[in-house]
Protein backbone atom coordinates (compact mmCIF):
# COMPACT_ATOMS: atom_id res chain seq x y z
CA UNK A 1 0.00 0.00 0.00
CA UNK A 2 2.99 2.30 0.59
CA UNK A 3 3.80 2.18 -3.12
CA UNK A 4 0.25 3.31 -3.93
CA UNK A 5 0.45 6.21 -1.49
CA UNK A 6 3.84 7.31 -2.87
CA UNK A 7 2.55 7.24 -6.46
CA UNK A 8 -0.59 9.17 -5.44
CA UNK A 9 1.44 11.84 -3.62
CA UNK A 10 3.86 12.14 -6.56
CA UNK A 11 0.92 12.70 -8.91
CA UNK A 12 -0.51 15.30 -6.53
CA UNK A 13 2.80 17.18 -6.41
CA UNK A 14 3.00 17.18 -10.22
CA UNK A 15 -0.60 18.39 -10.37
CA UNK A 16 -0.09 21.36 -8.04
CA UNK A 17 3.09 22.34 -9.89
CA UNK A 18 1.27 22.22 -13.22
CA UNK A 19 -1.61 24.27 -11.84
CA UNK A 20 0.76 26.86 -10.41
CA UNK A 21 2.88 27.15 -13.54
CA UNK A 22 0.33 26.60 -16.32
CA UNK A 23 -2.64 28.60 -15.00
CA UNK A 24 -1.20 32.06 -15.75
CA UNK A 25 -0.32 30.87 -19.28
CA UNK A 26 -3.57 29.07 -20.08
CA UNK A 27 -6.58 30.44 -21.88
CA UNK A 28 -8.89 32.02 -19.26
CA UNK A 29 -11.86 29.90 -20.36
CA UNK A 30 -9.86 26.76 -19.53
CA UNK A 31 -8.89 27.93 -16.04
CA UNK A 32 -12.17 29.63 -15.15
CA UNK A 33 -14.33 26.59 -15.88
CA UNK A 34 -13.12 25.02 -12.61
CA UNK A 35 -14.16 28.04 -10.53
CA UNK A 36 -17.51 29.30 -9.17
CA UNK A 37 -20.05 30.45 -11.75
CA UNK A 38 -20.02 34.17 -10.89
CA UNK A 39 -16.21 34.11 -11.11
CA UNK A 40 -16.44 32.53 -14.59
CA UNK A 41 -18.82 35.27 -15.70
CA UNK A 42 -16.74 38.11 -14.23
CA UNK A 43 -13.51 36.77 -15.75
CA UNK A 44 -14.82 35.83 -19.19
CA UNK A 45 -13.38 38.95 -20.83
CA UNK A 46 -9.92 38.54 -19.31
CA UNK A 47 -7.30 38.92 -22.08
CA UNK A 48 -5.81 35.72 -23.42
CA UNK A 49 -2.07 35.17 -23.06
CA UNK A 50 0.04 34.85 -26.22
CA UNK A 51 -0.39 31.62 -28.16
CA UNK A 52 3.08 30.29 -27.25
CA UNK A 53 2.18 30.52 -23.54
CA UNK A 54 -1.09 28.69 -24.16
CA UNK A 55 0.83 25.95 -25.97
CA UNK A 56 3.23 25.62 -23.02
CA UNK A 57 0.25 25.39 -20.66
CA UNK A 58 -1.31 22.62 -22.78
CA UNK A 59 2.00 20.74 -22.91
CA UNK A 60 2.24 20.92 -19.10
CA UNK A 61 -1.34 19.69 -18.78
CA UNK A 62 -0.57 16.82 -21.16
CA UNK A 63 2.51 15.91 -19.11
CA UNK A 64 0.37 15.81 -15.97
CA UNK A 65 -2.18 13.53 -17.66
CA UNK A 66 0.61 11.27 -18.90
CA UNK A 67 2.07 11.12 -15.37
CA UNK A 68 -1.35 10.26 -13.94
CA UNK A 69 -1.97 7.45 -16.43
CA UNK A 70 1.62 6.22 -16.08
CA UNK A 71 1.12 6.01 -12.31
CA UNK A 72 -2.07 4.01 -12.75
CA UNK A 73 -0.44 1.69 -15.29
CA UNK A 74 2.58 1.22 -13.04
CA UNK A 75 0.40 0.34 -10.06
CA UNK A 76 -1.73 -2.01 -12.19
CA UNK A 77 1.25 -3.85 -13.65
CA UNK A 78 2.96 -4.01 -10.26
CA UNK A 79 -0.23 -5.39 -8.72
CA UNK A 80 -0.58 -8.08 -11.37
CA UNK A 81 3.08 -9.07 -11.01
CA UNK A 82 2.63 -9.33 -7.24
CA UNK A 83 -0.36 -11.63 -7.62
CA UNK A 84 -3.12 -9.15 -6.78
CA UNK A 85 -6.60 -10.36 -7.52
CA UNK A 86 -9.57 -8.29 -8.64
CA UNK A 87 -10.52 -6.85 -5.24
CA UNK A 88 -7.00 -6.06 -4.10
CA UNK A 89 -6.25 -4.34 -7.41
CA UNK A 90 -9.54 -2.46 -7.17
CA UNK A 91 -8.64 -1.33 -3.65
CA UNK A 92 -5.25 -0.13 -4.90
CA UNK A 93 -6.91 2.07 -7.53
CA UNK A 94 -9.50 3.31 -5.02
CA UNK A 95 -6.73 4.38 -2.62
CA UNK A 96 -4.94 6.17 -5.48
CA UNK A 97 -8.01 8.05 -6.67
CA UNK A 98 -9.30 8.95 -3.21
CA UNK A 99 -5.92 10.36 -2.17
CA UNK A 100 -5.93 12.42 -5.36
CA UNK A 101 -9.54 13.52 -4.72
CA UNK A 102 -8.77 14.49 -1.12
CA UNK A 103 -5.82 16.52 -2.40
CA UNK A 104 -8.09 18.14 -4.98
CA UNK A 105 -10.70 19.12 -2.40
CA UNK A 106 -8.41 20.15 0.45
CA UNK A 107 -5.39 21.64 -1.30
CA UNK A 108 -6.73 22.89 -4.61
CA UNK A 109 -10.34 23.90 -3.92
CA UNK A 110 -10.17 24.92 -0.28
CA UNK A 111 -6.60 26.14 0.14
CA UNK A 112 -5.45 27.38 -3.29
CA UNK A 113 -8.78 28.71 -4.55
CA UNK A 114 -10.53 29.84 -1.37
CA UNK A 115 -7.88 30.55 1.28
CA UNK A 116 -4.88 31.77 -0.73
CA UNK A 117 -6.95 33.32 -3.52
CA UNK A 118 -4.43 32.29 -6.20
CA UNK A 119 -6.90 32.62 -9.06
CA UNK A 120 -8.29 35.87 -7.68
CA UNK A 121 -4.77 37.27 -8.18
CA UNK A 122 -4.66 35.94 -11.75
CA UNK A 123 -8.07 37.41 -12.52
CA UNK A 124 -8.28 40.65 -10.50
CA UNK A 125 -11.58 41.58 -12.16
CA UNK A 126 -13.16 38.75 -10.13
CA UNK A 127 -12.02 40.07 -6.73
CA UNK A 128 -15.51 41.18 -5.64
CA UNK A 129 -17.28 37.97 -6.63
CA UNK A 130 -19.27 36.18 -3.94
CA UNK A 131 -18.12 32.83 -5.35
CA UNK A 132 -14.76 33.31 -3.63
CA UNK A 133 -16.57 32.94 -0.29
CA UNK A 134 -18.58 29.84 -1.25
CA UNK A 135 -16.48 26.91 -0.07
CA UNK A 136 -19.14 24.49 -1.33
CA UNK A 137 -18.99 25.71 -4.94
CA UNK A 138 -17.83 22.35 -6.28
CA UNK A 139 -19.63 19.92 -3.96
CA UNK A 140 -21.99 18.39 -6.52
CA UNK A 141 -19.20 17.50 -8.96
CA UNK A 142 -17.00 16.17 -6.16
CA UNK A 143 -19.77 13.94 -4.78
CA UNK A 144 -20.50 12.53 -8.24
CA UNK A 145 -16.84 11.63 -8.68
CA UNK A 146 -16.53 10.15 -5.19
CA UNK A 147 -19.52 7.88 -5.90
CA UNK A 148 -18.28 6.92 -9.39
CA UNK A 149 -14.67 6.11 -8.42
CA UNK A 150 -15.22 2.60 -7.00
CA UNK A 151 -16.97 1.56 -10.21
CA UNK A 152 -14.22 3.05 -12.37
CA UNK A 153 -11.65 1.28 -10.22
CA UNK A 154 -13.44 -2.06 -10.67
CA UNK A 155 -13.48 -1.55 -14.44
CA UNK A 156 -9.78 -0.62 -14.42
CA UNK A 157 -8.88 -3.65 -12.30
CA UNK A 158 -10.89 -5.84 -14.67
CA UNK A 159 -9.03 -4.46 -17.68
CA UNK A 160 -5.68 -5.17 -16.05
CA UNK A 161 -6.77 -8.71 -15.22
CA UNK A 162 -7.85 -9.23 -18.85
CA UNK A 163 -4.29 -8.45 -19.93
CA UNK A 164 -2.73 -10.48 -17.12
CA UNK A 165 -1.13 -12.95 -19.54
CA UNK A 166 0.65 -10.14 -21.40
CA UNK A 167 1.76 -8.35 -18.22
CA UNK A 168 3.21 -11.35 -16.37
Query: How far apart, in whole angstroms, are the C-alpha atoms of residue 103 and residue 32?
Result: 19
Tens-digit pLDDT profile for residues 90-128 = 999 999 999 999 999 999 888 988 888 888 888 889 888
Cα–Cα distances in Å, from 73 out to 18, 67, 79, 147?
21, 10, 10, 22
Tens-digit pLDDT profile for residues 14-35 = 999 999 999 999 998 888 888 8
So where are the chain's domains?
2-167
pTM of the model: 0.85
Amino acid sequence: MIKTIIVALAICIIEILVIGIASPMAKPSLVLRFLPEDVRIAGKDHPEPPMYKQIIAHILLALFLIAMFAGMIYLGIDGIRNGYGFWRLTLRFIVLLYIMKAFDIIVQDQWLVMTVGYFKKLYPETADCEGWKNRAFNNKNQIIRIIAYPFLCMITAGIFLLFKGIIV
